[in-house]
Amino acid sequence: MWEGNVTLNVVPEAVDLSSATEAGISAAMGTGTAAGSAALVGVTPMGLDADSAQFAAALNAAGAAYLGVAAEHVGQRTAFAGTQARAAATYVATEAANAAAVAL
């Protein structure tokens, strides 16, 4: 069983910077993915034969699958950035409440 005091050293400004960095990366990824989406799902058959049509359909399906995964990844990074921002704010508020309680 663990016993003892824990000192939590958090630098809220650093956590906020990390949050802003994650948000910026997410925005850039979303923009890049959106810019390339037409090429990923706009494949047309090279010929009029069934093989060309099936190959184009397979490429479009793969592109759509990639876009779905990329969107999920961007969403997860965005959520992580938001969680970091809330964690920093919670830490600051908790420390302020603790300081006020000690001052009583």
**Domain boundaries of the chain, sorted by first residue:** 13-98
pLDDT < 70 positions in the chain: 1-7
Q: What is the pLDDT of residue 9?
A: 81
The pTM is what? 0.76
Counting residues of the chain whose pLDDT is more than 90, the rounded percentage is 87
CA distance 79 to 83: 6
CA distance 83 to 95: 18
Furthest C-alpha separation in the chain: 83
Q: Which CATH architecture fits 13-98?
A: Orthogonal Bundle (1.10)
| 33 contacts: CB under 8 Å, gap ≥ 6 | 67, 70, 71, 74
